[in-house]
Amino acid sequence: MGKAGITVSPLAPASFPDLPRIAGVEFASAAAGVKYQGRTDLTLIRIAKGAQIAGVFTRSATRAACVLDNQAKLAGGGGAPDGAAIIVNSGNANAFTGARGQESVDAVTGAVALALGLPATNVYSSSTGVIGEPLPHERIVDSISDLVDKLDPAGAAEAARAIMTTDTFPKGASAVIAAEGGEIRITGIAKGSGMIAPDMATMLVYIFTDAKISAPLLQDALTQGLGSSFNAITVDSDTSTSDALLLAATGQSPAAEILSLDDPAGRAFIRALHGVMLELAHLVVRDGEGATKFVEIRVTGAASDEDARKVASAIANSPLVKTAIAGEDANWGRIVMAVGKSGAAADRDRLTIRFGDMVLAENGWRAPDYDERAASAYMKNQELLIAVDMGLGQGAQTMWTCDLTHGYIDINADYRS
C-alpha cells in the first residue's frame, strides 16, 4: 500500500532504488500538517557552498508564486557560492492565492535562509497540491528548526515520499559515470501522478550531481534532455500551475571539471543525466492516476519532427484511445482518428499502424494478415507499443502515456476532500 492506504500502482517498480549519496547535499523531512495528517509533507534540501543551480518550470499562464520566485532567482545566473537550499511542501500548491502567495514564499524562504545562514536569493521553494487555497506557511516555518536538525546525506528516499500527493509510490533514479580523476554521481527524485502533460515541467523533480560544471553548461545539459523525457510524457493532457525541475551540481566529485558538452566527458555526462531524466519521467507515467498500462507511442516517417510530435500527442492524449487501452480493446480505428485530427500532414495510403510487432493497417486499409485475436491478446500486456509510420519523411517523436480508467475519476472527483 502507498500513503494513506492507497493501493500502489500495478506498474510500480518492486522497490525504491538505492540512490548514491551526493557529496554536498543533505535532506530532511517532517510532518508539518500543511494538509495531510500523520504523514510527512515537508522536505528541506541543503546544498553546499560553491554549487551551481539550473532549472526549468511550467509555462502555465497561471503558475504559482513559488515558480515565479524561482524563475526570478535563477535569472541571476545560478551560482551559489554561499550554498543553496530547496524547501518543498505537499498538500497545497500556493497557486492562485493573490499577493498572499508571494508573502508565503517570502516567509518560508526567509525562514530557511535565516536558519541555514544563506542569502534568501539562494533558497528555492516548491508547493504542490490544491490550487486556490492560502498556504498555511506558519506550519512550515514552525517546522524548519526540526528539519535543520535532521539534515542527512542519506535522506533522499524519505524526501521522495514527503513530496508525494496522489502518487502511490516514491520515485528515484541515479547514474554513476567513470570519468577522468574519479566518479561523477547523479541522483534524482520526483513526484507526479496527475495533471501531467508536456509543457515543462510536468511534475516536481530534483536532481543532484557532484560534477564540477558551470551553471550555463548545467542549464544547457538540462534543457537538451527535455524533449525526449519530461516533455514527452502525458497522463491526462493537463499542465500544472506549480511544477518545477531543479538541478544542482556541488562540484565535489574528484573527477575533472566538465568544460564542454561536446567533448567525451561532456557527452558522457549528458547521456547519464538524460538517462536519469527519462527514468524519472517514465516513473511518473507508471504512477499515472488510475493507470494499469504503460504505453509507448512511437511516430516515425512524419513530414517533420513537429508533425511527429503532433501525431504522438494526439494519440497519447485521446480519451478514446486511452479508454480502449484500459478496456484491452485493439481498436486501431481510434489511432486513425487521432492521426487525422492532429493537424499533421497525413496520407491515408502511406500510413502504417502497428501494435507491438503486428501490422494492423497499411496502404490505406486493414493489413491483409490482420488477426483480431492476436491483437486483442497483445492488449492484455501491461506494457504496450503503438507505432505509427506516416510514410512522408524523416520526422520522429516518441511519447509515453498510460490508460484512462475509472480510477482516474475516483481520485479526482474528491481530490479536495
Bridge-based pairing state of the strands 84-92 and 395-402: unpaired
SS3 of the chain: helix, strand, coil, percent, to 5: 35, 25, 40
Among 43, 165, 202, 250, the one annotated catalytic: 202
Question: Residue with C-alpha cell 511518473?
Answer: 284
What's the confidence (pLDDT) of residue 304? 98
What's the confidence (pLDDT) of residue 235? 82
* This prediction's pTM: 0.94
Question: 177: which 3 cell numbers?
Answer: 559515470
Query: CB 151: neighbour CB atoms within 10 A?
Result: 16
CA 407 to chain centre: 21
What's the confidence (pLDDT) of residue 409? 75
Confirm if 66 and 105 have CB atoms less than 8 A apart: yes
Bridge-based pairing state of the strands 383-389 and 294-302: parallel
- DSSP per-residue codes, 317-367: H-HHHHHHHHTT---THHHHHHHHHS-S---GGG-EEEETTEEEEETTEE-
List strands edge to edge, sheet with 171-179: 79-80, 51-57, 244-249, 204-209, 182-191, 171-179
Instruction: Let me know if 405 is a catalytic residue.
Output: no
Question: 311: which 3 cell numbers?
Answer: 501525431
Cα dihedral 216/217/222/228 (nearest 10): 130
- Cα–Cα distance for residue pair 61/112, rounded to 1 Å: 28
What's the confidence (pLDDT) of residue 197? 53
- Cα–Cα distance for residue pair 63/57, rounded to 1 Å: 9
CA 131 to chain centre: 19
What's the confidence (pLDDT) of residue 60? 84
**383: enclosing H helix or E strand:** strand 383-389
Question: Residue with C-alpha cell 500523520?
Answer: 38
State how far the alpha carbon of 188 is from the alpha carbons of 172, 316, 323, 348, in Å: 6, 26, 32, 43
- Cα–Cα distance for residue pair 33/371, rounded to 1 Å: 55
Strand partners, 47: 25, 84
Residues in the chain, pLDDT under 50: 1-4, 201, 416-417
What's the confidence (pLDDT) of residue 59? 85
Query: CB 413: neighbour CB atoms within 10 A?
Result: 9
Question: Residue with C-alpha cell 539550473?
Answer: 54
Question: 227: which 3 cell numbers?
Answer: 524533449
Confirm if 129 and 91 have CB atoms less than 8 A apart: yes
What's the confidence (pLDDT) of residue 6? 66
